[in-house]
Amino acid sequence: MTKPVVLLAEELSPATVDALGPDFDIRTCDGADRGALLAALPDAEAVLVRSATRIDAEALAAAPRLKVVARAGVGLDNVDVRAATQAGVMVVNAPTSNIVSAAELAVGLMLAAARHLSAAHQSLRKGEWQRSRYTGTELYGKTVGIVGLGRIGVLVAQRLAAFGMQLLAYDPYVQAGRAAQLGVRLVDLDTLLAQADFMSVHLPRTPETVGLIGAEQLARVKPSLVLVNAARGGIVDEEALYAALKEGRVAGAGLDVFAREPSTDSPLLELDNVVATPHLGASTDEAQEKAGLAVARSVRLALEGELVPDAVNVQGGVIAEDVRPGIPLTEKLGRIFTGLAGEVCQQLDVEVRGEIADFDVKVLELAALKGLFTDIVGEQVSYVNAPLLAAERGCAVRLVTEPESPDHRNLITLRGTLADGSQVSVGGTLIGLAHKERLVEVNGFDVDIEPTEHLAFFSYGDRPGMVGTVGGILGDAGVNIAGMQVVRDSAGGRALVVLSVDSRIPAEALVEIQHAMDATSVRAVDLA
């Protein structure tokens, strides 16, 4: 068979090429050379770029076999995501690859601007020794306003907290409770402008954020303000910033990005109270390595027909950041459902309740189907073929969304009807900032247990001694119990034992448990 062609349009690390492996025909071109790029695209099924290659409608039209565009970095300014979606091409990036590097540079620019390091260095190189001219400002005890409390903004806040700074943030998409957990006080933009001694911008460039910090905003700040923008050019109005710096209405600035790049003739570069770098946020060996490895993994998944966690678009739509953590949980719920049902259901409802129901959650239906069939078909199950497998086996699927979720912030439940008319249900949620997975409902019983690699579910009539019986049999079989829950609908009624164990339960132990408990159902689910 002919190997899929993967086109490297820019130089990537050797580790990236190694991560792609021998399964692909890897070719290279100079993506900045438009003619060379267009000539190389017709055979490509995947193209990997950094920031110099522009993948727009023209490039996509030249690549009829293209399945995925991978940007080895965070921003997608050089990729037309809408045109790619219309062409059925997946777009992936490496959203966390450079966040540490970008956060560290922002802090470095803040320190450099506060202490006039660039100007003092240039003065010293000229043979001058002017200590009093470059008296700076401490960060300790000052108030910093962080505009945008996303991944990088959070890392900057954590680092500046170590300097003893007071932390304010403006971000209309962040809850005050989450900010408080980080030690940050969430305020509106006007309050931040009025109170900040330092300001660091960490927003994406969108139509709403372009020019967000302009002449009107800079007129409200303290004249001692040091402003840092290491996010995207254009969010800070450069003409307004130049005037404010020139007139002494802003004390200093640290800039890594500009509205137009390359930018070597900006008037801002003439000012001694500006420290500037040529968009170096992601320019560390570590960030480049992480970005290359991340997109190499994504390309492999995409060309294998899998859903890619770092996909910006899938099934014609964008996966919201709030939805992404629920994808692996929903796939696990699908596998647990099949383990409990022991057969393919005739009807499956994928119920999504809570805040994420406001987003497009179609991807969770795909995740549920992938999990549903992973352990019962011989072929590889992917997000591409899972709906076909369901149709072939007569499993009708319905996605149900409801913004109200009384007991959990978000709740994902798979509820299915079997051939005999009985129902099986399993529900899960994510808790905390780390999005820890919890199994919270099984066949109508409320539970609370981590969906680990090895699970077991025993249904029986409630009576004394059953917990000890189960523990004894598993102990004899050398199986260690990591977690256990016993729930019932009433005293002496239906009861359910849910177990998390450290290893697979032998079949003979399951048979022994069923006989000893007179259990109506004994199911083991292995997610390893």
User: What pLDDT sits at residue 316?
Assistant: 47
Tally of structural domains, the chain: 4
Q: Is 220 exposed, middle or buried (0-12, 13-18, 19+ CB in 10 A)?
A: middle
442 pLDDT band, cuts 50/70/90, is very high
Q: How far apart are CA 160 and CA 213, in angstroms?
A: 22
User: Do 44 and 80 belong to one domain?
Assistant: yes
User: Do 354 and 424 belong to one domain?
Assistant: yes
Report if residue 360 sits inside a domain. Answer: yes
Tell me, rounded to whole angstroms, the distance of Cα 110 from its chain centroid: 27
The token pair that represents 322 in the structure block: 């709030």
pLDDT digits (tens, 9 = 90+) for 353-366: 999 999 989 889 99
Report if residue 281 sits inside a domain. Answer: no
User: Do 147 and 254 belong to one domain?
Assistant: yes
Q: Which helix (H) or strand (E) holds 368?
A: helix 362-374
Q: How far apart are CA 317 and CA 325, in angstroms?
A: 17
Report if residue 522 sits inside a domain. Answer: yes
Write down the residue that tokens 């497009």 correspond to.
360
Report if residue 497 sits inside a domain. Answer: yes
Write down the residue that tokens 């019983």 correspond to.
445
User: What pLDDT sits at residue 64?
Assistant: 94
pLDDT digits (tens, 9 = 90+) for 358-407: 998 988 999 999 899 888 876 667 676 688 788 888 899 999 999 999 89
Report if residue 48 sits inside a domain. Answer: yes
User: Do 196 and 239 belong to one domain?
Assistant: yes
Whether 315 shows a pLDDT value over 60: the answer reads no
Boundary (domain end) residue, out of 276, 304, 327:
276
Q: How far apart are CA 513 and CA 122, in angstroms?
A: 79
Q: What secondary structure letter does DSSP report for 296?
A: H
Report if residue 150 sits inside a domain. Answer: yes
Distances (CA, A) of 511 to 487, 524, 527: 22, 11, 20
| CATH for 79 | 3.40.50.720
User: Do 13 and 69 belong to one domain?
Assistant: yes
User: Do 186 and 106 belong to one domain?
Assistant: yes
Q: How many CA within 13 A on the CB side of residue 399? A: 14
User: Do 154 and 239 belong to one domain?
Assistant: yes
What is the C-alpha R_g of the chain?
28
Whether 125 shows a pLDDT value over 70: the answer reads yes
What's the domain range around 56? 5-96+286-318
User: What pLDDT sits at residue 309?
Assistant: 72
Residue 459 backbone phi and psi in degrees, to 5: -105, 135
Cβ density class 165-188: b for 16+ within 10 Å, e for less: bbbbbbbeebeeeebeebebbbbe
| CATH for 364 | 3.30.1330.90
| CATH for 527 | 3.30.70.260
Write down the residue that tokens 């014609």 correspond to.
316
Whether 102 shows a pLDDT value over 50: the answer reads yes
User: Do 391 and 312 belong to one domain?
Assistant: no
Report if residue 260 sits inside a domain. Answer: yes
Task: Give the global pTM.
Answer: 0.62
Q: DSSP letters along 165-198, please? A: -EEEEE-TTS-HHHHHHTT-EE--HHHHHHH-SE
299 pLDDT band, cuts 50/70/90, is very high
Q: What percentage of the chain carries pLDDT values higher than 90?
A: 76
**Catalytic residue numbers, as ranges:** 232, 261, 279
Whether 477 shows a pLDDT value over 80: the answer reads yes
User: Do 77 and 124 belong to one domain?
Assistant: no
Report if residue 343 sits inside a domain. Answer: yes
User: Do 112 and 165 belong to one domain?
Assistant: yes
pLDDT digits (tens, 9 = 90+) for 323-362: 989 999 999 999 999 999 988 899 999 999 999 999 989 8
Mean pLDDT calculated for residue range 39-62: 95
User: Do 69 and 127 belong to one domain?
Assistant: no
Whether 70 shows a pLDDT value over 80: the answer reads yes
pLDDT digits (tens, 9 = 90+) for 17-44: 999 989 999 999 999 999 999 999 999 9
User: Do 295 and 339 belong to one domain?
Assistant: no
| Range list of H helices, 375-465 | 386-392
Whether 109 shows a pLDDT value over 70: the answer reads yes
User: What pLDDT sits at residue 314?
Assistant: 65
pLDDT digits (tens, 9 = 90+) for 219-257: 999 999 999 999 999 999 999 999 999 999 999 999 999
Mean pLDDT calculated for residue range 199-216: 91
The overall longest dimension of the chain from CA atoms, in Å, is: 91
